[in-house]
């Protein structure tokens, strides 16, 4: 159940990587927050900075990474200033992560029961017998069939979908406050993908964990997230509730992502693509990084980075198209259809609220 308590706050985060070719400005002033019990999806193409952002929350940056500025506040404590010992106490206990490929996350030489139980023994000092008993319960909770007999099996004896369930069990055994899921369903087929997403939703309801869900697939986000942050070239370019991003997007990059996503109504010739490639972050552009790929780009886009413009109390987008003096542009056909649906949803919600108010007033009389 989502609450209004903010447990994580990322402020003006800037991260560079020192390479032989020069300094890569990977994260360029990223800010967002996470509330207790909510799911925040971070979406964008490969290389947009999604994984680097979330690895910094765990204190898992590479040796050549340099935090140029900003802070990551977890319950008011700056993760970036924590000692190695404090970080080790944080990882797996209060903040856990599910990685993309379960086979690289599991020790092939260790039985899975022991792997699930290990975080309990390391972080909470639970004795082996009790930890194994709790591992068995967690195996059942994540839907591993015949758990009593399979607790002593090795990772290679499980299917890809079952291995991902084991990784989720390891991440959740300590009931962490934040679960970071880094493309957790990419390596799975569509049917297993749906099962894993349903499982994560069910477990979130049971243990009130907040989830940061990283994906390049907007289709996965629709039924999973409460809020969405769209990333491009190391910056968040739009964020809002899942309905606002899906049905009333304002940034041309979000338009491109949504237009390239097939739906049941899509005809094969209608599917769009975003032209060009993301910019080289060794030398980021002076203006809007998306401008060279943006068919709606204005002259100012090549000269100045756009600030965030407010669309609603929960919806902001960094595009000069929202400036009062900007010319009116017509979004792609798919986006216009989405905006019509959004307006219809808002009308229905308003009518429903009005109906409830009338009923309450009648009851009071």
pLDDT at 267 exceeding the cut of 60: no
Quick one: tokens of 343? 């307006």
Q: Write down the pLDDT at residue 263.
A: 64
Residues 222, 299: Cα–Cα separation, whole Å: 34
pLDDT digits over 340-351, tens only?
A: 888 888 888 888
Q: Residue range 159-186: average pLDDT?
A: 88
Among 96-105, 138-147, 306-315, 322-331, name the one with the lowest average pLDDT: 96-105
* pLDDT tier for residue 109 given thresholds of 50, 70 and 90: very high
pLDDT at 203 exceeding the cut of 90: no
CATH (one of 3.40.50.300, 2.102.10.10, 3.40.630.30, 3.40.50.1980) for 6-230: 3.40.50.300
Residues 101, 98: Cα–Cα separation, whole Å: 9
Q: Residue range 258-271: average pLDDT?
A: 67
Which contacts of 285-292 are long-range, i.e. CB under 8 A and separated by 24 or more positions? 288/318, 288/319, 288/320, 289/232, 289/233, 289/234, 289/235, 290/232, 290/233, 290/237, 290/251, 290/252, 290/253
Q: Domain extents for the chain?
A: 6-230, 242-346
Identify the DSSP state of 45.
Answer: S
Q: Residue range 195-207: average pLDDT?
A: 83
User: 8 with 210: CB under 8 angstroms?
Assistant: yes
Query: CA nearest 100: which of 50, 156, 172, 40?
Result: 50
Q: Write down the pLDDT at residue 206.
A: 82
Q: Residue range 97-126: average pLDDT?
A: 88
Q: Residue range 323-346: average pLDDT?
A: 88
Q: Write down the pLDDT at residue 222.
A: 84
pLDDT digits over 88-100, tens only?
A: 889 888 999 987 7
Among 66-75, 141-150, 229-238, 267-276, name the one with the lowest average pLDDT: 267-276
pLDDT at 217 exceeding the cut of 70: yes
Q: Write down the pLDDT at residue 136.
A: 94
Q: Residue range 296-310: average pLDDT?
A: 95
Helix, strand or coil for residue 337?
A: helix
Query: CA nearest 323: which of 311, 312, 335?
Result: 311
Query: CA nearest 204: which of 177, 223, 166?
Result: 177
Query: CA nearest 232: which of 26, 88, 62?
Result: 26
pLDDT digits over 119-151, tens only?
A: 999 888 899 999 999 999 999 988 898 999 999
pLDDT digits over 15-49, tens only?
A: 999 999 999 999 999 999 999 999 999 999 888 99
Residues 287, 4: Cα–Cα separation, whole Å: 35
pTM summary value? 0.89
Phi, psi of 6 (to 5 degrees): -85, 120
Q: Is 12 left (phi over 0), alpha (psi -120 to 50) or beta?
A: left
């Amino acid at each position: 159940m989502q609450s209004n308590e903010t447990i994580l706050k990322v402020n003006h985060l800037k991260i560079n990587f020192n390479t032989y070719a020069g300094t890569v400005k990977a994260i360029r002033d990223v800010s967002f927050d996470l509330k207790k019990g909510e799911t925040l999806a971070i979406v964008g193409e490969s290389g947009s900075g999604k994984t680097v952002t979330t690895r910094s929350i765990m204190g898992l940056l590479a040796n050549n990474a340099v935090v140029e500025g900003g802070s990551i506040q977890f319950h008011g404590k700056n993760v970036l200033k924590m000692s190695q010992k404090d970080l080790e106490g944080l990882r797996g206990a209060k903040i856990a992560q599910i990685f993309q490929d379960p086979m690289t996350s599991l020790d092939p030489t260790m039985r899975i029961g022991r792997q699930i139980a290990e975080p309990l023994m390391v972080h909470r000092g639970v004795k082996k017998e009790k930890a194994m008993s709790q591992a068995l319960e967690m195996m059942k909770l994540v839907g591993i069939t015949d758990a009593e007999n399979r607790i002593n099996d090795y990772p290679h004896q499980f299917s890809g979908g079952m291995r991902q369930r084991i990784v989720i069990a390891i991440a959740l055994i300590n009931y962490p406050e934040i679960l970071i899921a880094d493309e957790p369903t990419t390596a799975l087929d569509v049917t297993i993908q749906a099962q894993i997403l349903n499982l994560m939703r069910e477990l979130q309801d049971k243990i009130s964990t907040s989830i940061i869900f990283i994906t390049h697939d907007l289709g996965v986000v629709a039924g999973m997230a409460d809020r969405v942050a769209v990333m491009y070239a190391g910056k968040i370019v739009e964020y809002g509730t899942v309905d606002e991003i899906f049905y009333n997007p304002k940034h041309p990059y979000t338009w491109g992502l949504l237009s390239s996503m097939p739906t049941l109504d899509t005809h094969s010739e209608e599917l769009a693509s975003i032209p060009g490639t993301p910019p080289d972050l060794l030398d980021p552009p002076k203006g809007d990084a998306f401008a060279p790929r943006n068919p709606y780009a204005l002259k100012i886009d090549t000269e100045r980075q756009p600030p965030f413009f407010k669309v609603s109390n929960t919806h902001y987008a960094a595009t000069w198209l929202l400036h009062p003096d900007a010319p009116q542009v017509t979004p792609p056909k798919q986006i216009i259809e989405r905006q019509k649906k959004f307006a219809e949803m808002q009308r229905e919600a308003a009518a429903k609220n009005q109906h409830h108010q009338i009923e309450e007033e009648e009851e009071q009389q």
